[in-house]
Structure 1
Amino acid sequence: MPIPMDYQHASEEFERFLRLVVERSGLTTRNQAYTTAQSVLLTFRRRLEMRDAIRFAGVLPPVLRAIFVADWDTQEEPRAFSSHAALIEEVRSLRRDHNFSPDSAIADVAFALRACVDGAEFDRLLATLPPGAADFWRD
């Protein structure tokens, strides 16, 4: 069997995703976009039970899937979805001195992510996750 296309082109797709984050957010570098995207993904992951997080990871492109599951403390209890301000503060808490995530970071990453996944599959999955999950990914 040949290597699946999403694996063959994983780096290109990830670079496209980062470009979309930069363009949408007004950030200036791919490093800033990476930190923003990583922190948004981790903020979301902290609100899911492991079973749901694994299902969510399954709809992500390969590099984003790897970022989503990397360094996971699987013993951490899921957190509740909270106010936008609290979620953005959590996004900004990752590498605080090097994190330039704007107030729109979650929406910016959601926009870029939606451009890189099967939208119908993504929405079907979000509808099965806890309340607050679909709202988190609105762009």
Structure 2
Amino acid sequence: MTVPLEYEKASENFFEYLVDARDIAGLWSTHVTYTMTQGVFHVFRRRISTSDAIAFSNILPVCLRSLFVADWDVNEEKKDFDSEEEMTREVRLLREEHNFSTVTAIKDVAKAVRKHVNEEVFDELLLKLPDGAFEFWRP
């Protein structure tokens, strides 16, 4: 069996995502975009169960999937979905001195992620997750 194309092109696809997210957010660097994406992922996964997070990550492209689960303390206290403002403040706490996430970081990442997933499958899963999950990823 050959290596699946999604793995063969993983780095290329990840960079395409970073460029899309950078441009959507109006940022100047894919490095800054990486931190913003990681922050948004951390905020989201704190609000869903581990099994829901695995289901969510399986819909993501390979490198985004990896970023979503990297350095995860699965015993971290779960939080409720909060206002977008409050969750955005939480996004900005990741590497605080080097985090230039936009005030629309969650929506910016949501819009970029949606360009790189099957939106129908993505929305189907989000509707099965706790209240707030679908709204979190609505661009």
TM over 0.5: yes
1:76 Cα shift? Answer: 1.5
Q: Give me the whole-angstrom Cα distance separating, in 1, the residues matched to 2:99 and 2:49.
A: 26
Aligned residue for 1:78? Answer: 78
1:74-97 CA distance string (max 9 Å, x none): 111321000111100000000001
Alignment-mate amino acid for residue 31 of structure 2: N
Alignment-mate amino acid for residue 55 of structure 1: A
Alignment-mate amino acid for residue 122 of structure 1: F
Q: Give me the whole-angstrom Cα distance separating, in 2, the residues matched to 1:32 and 1:75.
A: 28
Aligned residue for 2:2? Answer: 2
Q: Give me the whole-angstrom Cα distance separating, in 2, the residues matched to 1:125 and 1:117.
A: 12
Tell me the TM-score normalised to structure 2 length. Answer: 0.98
Alignment-mate amino acid for residue 5 of structure 1: L
Q: Give me the whole-angstrom Cα distance separating, in 2, the residues matched to 1:88 and 1:77.
A: 18
Alignment-mate amino acid for residue 136 of structure 2: F
Aligned residue for 1:25? Answer: 25
- List gaps (5 residues or longer) in structure 1: none
Aligned residue for 1:39? Answer: 39
Q: Give me the whole-angstrom Cα distance separating, in 2, the residues matched to 1:102 and 1:74.
A: 27
Tell me the TM-score normalised to structure 1 length. Answer: 0.98
Q: Give me the whole-angstrom Cα distance separating, in 1, the residues matched to 2:76 and 2:96.
A: 21
Aligned residue for 2:131? Answer: 131
Kindly report the root-mean-square deviation, in angstroms, between the aligned alpha carbons of the 2 structures.
0.6
Runs of 4+ that moved beyond 4 A: none
- List gaps (5 residues or longer) in structure 2: none
Identity of aligned residues (%): 46
Q: Give me the whole-angstrom Cα distance separating, in 1, the residues matched to 2:105 and 2:7.
A: 27
1:48-89 CA distance string (max 9 Å, x none): 111101100110111011111111111113210001111000
Aligned residue for 2:107? Answer: 107
Alignment of 1:91-102 (within 5 A): 91-102=91-102
Q: Give me the whole-angstrom Cα distance separating, in 1, the residues matched to 2:19 and 2:75.
A: 34
1:125 Cα shift? Answer: 0.5
Q: How many residues are matched?
A: 139
